[in-house]
Chain A
């Protein structure tokens, strides 16, 4: 208790001394900086200025009063001298006295000697004892600056004031968890504890982020789809425009040649629709009928698949062109029996392998048409030389030379049955239906980049078609070279194999055997008809089979005769 009272007394003395010291310093400060006052009452004005400075620095108001009271500098100097020695002593005492305040736990004792600000904390609970202690700690440094002001420089004083100011702020906002001085750790509060724990940065799931950028794949996909749709619309419209342009340029010619132009087969009466049938986005049909020399004509405009983006991209690798396919079906009396084709070399080679009739009746290799004056890249597949001579008249050659780039293939056939069908083993040979047909395949110029104007260039080719129809009607082969119409449908091989079967399953009786033998002998000149010498293959095969089975038949016949004898 005595110690405490001693300390209280010391505090009071400390206060007074510090105030006086401070006042002296301030006056010195004022005198130094208040020089503009040149009058004899400069001291008074200096004191007044000092007082002002004192108030601006938020100095204790008691000190200010002292400044105002003490007007003579001499008195202040003496006071200063008197106060310096105790001040030094006090400087030594203050840290010791401050240390003792840390031991205080009792809030009541603190409240007795302190200012009335903290009197309200007299009846505090134990929870707030810590706060009081902190507040006391905060408040105790406040007399410290006033005591040490006399010795220390202005900077130090300012710093101290700032410290006290901050401490007061902290006192007003008590923070229970502060174990360190907040002013020292400004900004480091959060990082300090976290440096000890392992940092676990969690990634926010992409769909919860507020950015569209993470969905870039989806955006790409949707953009691709939109591009596809755009291309579909553009391609479809282009194809439609091309078809319309073709039809507009050919309409007049067709209507002058055919009674029925445009038919979809659904209407009750045979009335010209006068427009194309759209089978697809890239295929347009037109059926024309009602003319001499032919049954009808089917025109197919087979455009490129401009509506399909994949196809467009594939065409960039491999260029292709639009095609116009014309198929003229003829009546039986309109055409003689022959097979003939002329066109592009590549197309001819392909057709020769693919088409049933061409592979059967024509030679393997397409022949050059130089004999007739055709360009080198055009080739001829023909059944007989006479057919070629007959077909390649001057007007035809003229057409071919002028429009050679647009002609893919021209195929006349009386045995047309389409491409070769794959025949399975063991099944009976199915004879395909044949029809007298003229086939024309034209390439549209432009190689894909066609404009509607290019369709006009195909008009002469249509004239060629009409001309060909009439020509074929009039063309007649020599009687001796033509095929017999009776057995025209059956090939030599097919007939022979049929008889083979009969012979093998025969009953070795005379009648069938002799009949068959006689048929065979009669068939010989028919099967080996006077085809051109280029038709060696079929002749050979027929001969082979013929003699093979002839031997059998002969044997059978002889056996039957001898058995019945």
Chain B
């Protein structure tokens, strides 16, 4: 097989997006954590509202690692199973991102911007994953 031929099924844009997503997610996690700390100092943030927000953020961080790993693995090996699993985890992460966008205790404007960017990245990723799975299966 010759590289960069239509016989290569791995999706390059998806791979680029995985890298970008990984770096962006680190920035997103640190920024959101810093903003939650800021909110707890400036506004009245009782403990039983703070706990769910922090739990969602850390859960998302925990899910991100297998998500990206499975996605990369599936894409490079041209296997649809890990990629499908990664797609499922992505849907979960999207729900958590929507929580941080709309159902947090205090949603700052910066929160909205960052979460919207993350959601758009997830959406694009999901689309590309579906296309890659279709290419692998057929």
| Chains A and B form a bound pair | no
Q: Give chain A's interface residues, CB within 8 Å of chain B.
A: none
